[in-house]
Structure 1
């Protein structure tokens, strides 16, 4: 029943949030040089797009902009793409596919270039499944690739750093350092272009993603509804159902946000203390002997998994996660006490892994609530004749320390 509830919870979250994601105020310039104010679906592209979705202010109809119909589009102050036909070198940097030729192999290609720094000297980036390249233009000229290529030299890897010479000849200024030690990275090139525009007394604008914290540490107390059944098909004990108990759990979650797709994916690790205590009176099947069977089960769990967010607005978001749970330091005992005082050998629980699925709500990246269900865990897996079903359903409240 609880698994059905959490599945319904997930489906409700997904259907409600999917349609509300990421349309932001922006603009596009069409092939007739007409600027159109619109709302653009911001997918926080890691690879340069070939098309995008947008809506006009007076309509909810989703339209498609692409290389055939749009010269430029952007989200105000955040990102900007321009259409350009460029000479692009797509030589692979993978060792298995690397060329022995140090010279770039250019092919003409029409693309949307991502504007990083715009001024007298403008810096662009382009990334697809194979390469990441940077381009530049001066005073509105056509963009040219900043040339960088890895190539094989016998058993070594060489580097063609011609981009440094390009910058030396085309973008030199007395008050900035020589680019001859510059790395082919967005941060290094971006800084150089900013310094050049400043040195040239040129107005410039930078476009970059909103900065956000990519690591969160949260304290996560909660309530667990735990149940345990054990069974020995070869003995007179039969099935013993300890029933359900409401217990306390405490976790400390580390979340590492992946820096793309609008920070909607994360890796989570949550060491958790778990406690379960119960007892049951039973009568054996064949001998009609009365026993008190008790368990006091403690463990440290380590769920490791992935989380996906569904953005509702700037303040709140929904999430789902799936984790594999590693258990440490179980070693608890299931004890049998006959009513005449005799005590048969107890059963010792052993560490076992299982999966956990959860769904929740986060507010201001600080406060979060989660419902989480665990799959069955066999804590008596080392015994030949005994089997067990330990189940847990959790309500968790979390608070992010940072």
Structure 2
């Protein structure tokens, strides 16, 4: 029997008529910038007890698996992304004000640069934490792929199988090049890694014990709820059953692909985006991604039928290259480029995004400014590497303290400005 029946059609929202955004941040000690596993001191209900979620109007704060991580998210779907960055920024400042009273603050970027999860990881211990305990028993969450990764999730709705098929096809095509915009994790345990998006490199291996859970990160090409349940979800549930006897993890969210179907709320959740240095950058990326996804679903450059034929392993190969080199990755697959109307020969992933951003500009000036920084100076990972120069150990705390300041002040990280401070 398949788990979690879908919502009724009356609850469904048509394509691109609503959005859900989630952003995750690390809590760190103010002085040392070491991770501070104190999310339960921040997330308190009116009686002062630890709470898994605090609602603050249209934004909610919630816990994550790791006790040093807090998630800010839209409190349900929102009709528009306009104005959302400012509301997230106000909540970031509120969180920082509360944390400041106990000697802590928020740190952005997708990986802490010197955290050692084998000794510093602490699971959220309150409420319905049996899910976290189950994950820990099966996968050992004291590794970077579980304990040290912060992302931005974009949820896009669909109404019925036809819209699901269109949206899933579009998102599969976008996933391989998203790290070219969003990579923010070049450092791990005080060393530059071989991947500008090291979060995704660790993420894609975090469930290696049960390969069905993440697949190859790029989701397979199934375009109806029935097929997705039968060929994606059921193999996960069956593979996990001997290790999850209580069925705690038999839910669609256990699927760890880079985008997952959430039939309980009729959305697809995009998971491959590293979190940025301030909310305007995250929301700008979400707006651009939604605009391009909408164009794909509307067959702007090619038919949905053609999009649905895209081979998973070819998409994976592009994705892995972009995980390594981000915006400077050369895309040499002409068939892939044609999905986006690019007919000028090979190009970099950055070139492709710059052309798409010109065609689909974001609406608000703060978002445009944030996106312009990414497109002109590179994703946050590249800017971090530039700022570290040739003296990584000395400059790591300087650079990451500046990133904390960028988050608090709502501005983009620019290495040239750091060097004159």
Is the pair's TM-score, using the shorter chain for normalization, greater than 0.5?
no
TM range (shorter): under 0.3
Structure with max Cα Rg: 1
Q: Which structure's relative contact order is higher, taking Cα pairs within 8 Å and 6+ residues apart?
A: 2
Normalising by the residue count of structure 1, what TM-score does the alignment of the two structures yield?
0.23
